[in-house]
Amino acid sequence: MFEGQPKGLYALALANTGERFGYYTMLAIFVLFLKANFGLSAGVAGTIYSTFLALVYFLPFIGGILADKFGYGKMVTIGIVAMFAGYVLLALPLGSGTFALICMFAALLVISTGTGLFKGNLQVMVGNLYDSPEYASKRDSAFSIFYMAINIGALFAPSAAVGIMDYAQQRLGVSVNDSYHFAFAVACVSLIVSMLIYYGFRKTFRHVEGGTKVAGGTKTAENTAEELSPKETQERIVALCLVFAVVIFFWMAFHQNGLTLTYFADEFTAKSSTGLESMMFDVWNLVAVIFIVYAGFSLVQSASGRAKVISALVILLALGFLGYRYSVLDGETAVNAPIFQQFNPFFVVALTPVSMAIFSSLARKGKEPSAPRKIGLGMLVAACGFIVMMFASFGLLTPDAQAAAVTEGKASFVSPNWLVSTYLVLTFGELLLSPMGISFVSKVAPPKYKGMMMGGWFVSTAVGNYLTAVPAWLWGGLPLWIVWGVLVALCLLSAVFIFSVMKRLEKVA
Q: Pick the last residue of a domain from 305, 334, 363.
A: 334
Residue 385 has pLDDT above 80, yes or no: yes
- Three-state DSSP at 96 gives coil
User: The CATH number of the domain where 413 resides is what?
Assistant: 1.20.1250.20
What is the pLDDT of the chain when averaged over all its residues?
87
Query: H or E stretch including 273?
Result: strand 272-273
Query: 207 in a domain, yes or no?
Result: no
- Who's near 303: CB < 8 A, 6+ residues apart? none
Average pLDDT score over residue span 269-298: 93
Average pLDDT score over residue span 218-238: 68
Number of neighbours of residue 135 by Cβ within 10 angstroms: 15
Query: 387 in a domain, yes or no?
Result: yes
Q: Pick the last residue of a domain from 313, 334, 355.
A: 334
Give the CA diameter of the chain: 76
Q: What does the pLDDT read at residue 212?
A: 55
Q: What does the pLDDT read at residue 353?
A: 84
Same domain for 281 and 166, yes or no, is no
Q: What does the pLDDT read at residue 444?
A: 86
Residue 329 dihedral angles phi and psi, to the nearest 5°? -60, 135
Same domain for 451 and 396, yes or no, is yes
Same domain for 303 and 404, yes or no, is no
Is residue 389 within 8 Å of 422, Cβ to Cβ?
yes
Q: Tens digit of pLDDT for each residue in 417-436?
A: 999 999 999 999 988 887 77
Average pLDDT score over residue span 364-374: 85
- Who's near 2: CB < 8 A, 6+ residues apart? 145
* Range from 175-189, 210-224, 333-347 carrying the lowest mean pLDDT: 210-224
Query: 92 in a domain, yes or no?
Result: yes
Same domain for 38 and 100, yes or no, is yes
Q: What does the pLDDT read at residue 220?
A: 45
* Range from 79-93, 151-165, 372-386 carrying the lowest mean pLDDT: 151-165
Number of neighbours of residue 4 by Cβ within 10 angstroms: 10
- Three-state DSSP at 269 gives strand
Same domain for 301 and 427, yes or no, is no
Most confident listed range (118-132, 368-382, 383-397): 383-397
Query: Which residue range(s) make up the domain with 453?
Result: 7-202+236-271+335-508
Number of neighbours of residue 147 by Cβ within 10 angstroms: 22
Residue 2 has pLDDT above 70, yes or no: no
Same domain for 129 and 99, yes or no, is yes
CA distance 104 to 110: 10
This model's pTM is above 0.75: yes
Same domain for 245 and 308, yes or no, is no
Same domain for 343 and 490, yes or no, is yes
Q: Which residues of 374-386 are buried (b: 16+ CB within 10 A; e: fewer)?
A: bbbbbbbbbbbbb
Same domain for 315 and 357, yes or no, is no
Same domain for 101 and 151, yes or no, is yes
Query: 1 in a domain, yes or no?
Result: no
What pLDDT band is residue 223 in, cutting at 50, 70 and 90?
very low
Domain count, the chain: 2
Same domain for 43 and 176, yes or no, is yes
Query: 28 in a domain, yes or no?
Result: yes
Query: 441 in a domain, yes or no?
Result: yes
CA–chain centroid gap for 309, Å, is 34
Q: Tens digit of pLDDT for each residue in 449-506?
A: 777 787 788 788 888 888 988 998 999 889 999 999 999 999 999 999 999 988 888 8
CA distance 321 to 308: 20
Query: 310 in a domain, yes or no?
Result: yes
Residue 234 has pLDDT above 90, yes or no: no
Residue 51 has pLDDT above 80, yes or no: yes
Angstrom CA distances, 88 to 95, 108, 199, 317, stand at 15, 11, 21, 40
Q: Tens digit of pLDDT for each residue in 155-193?
A: 888 888 888 999 988 888 888 888 999 988 988 888 898
Q: Pick the last residue of a domain from 310, 334, 358.
A: 334
CA distance 144 to 277: 29
Query: 211 in a domain, yes or no?
Result: no
Same domain for 386 and 498, yes or no, is yes
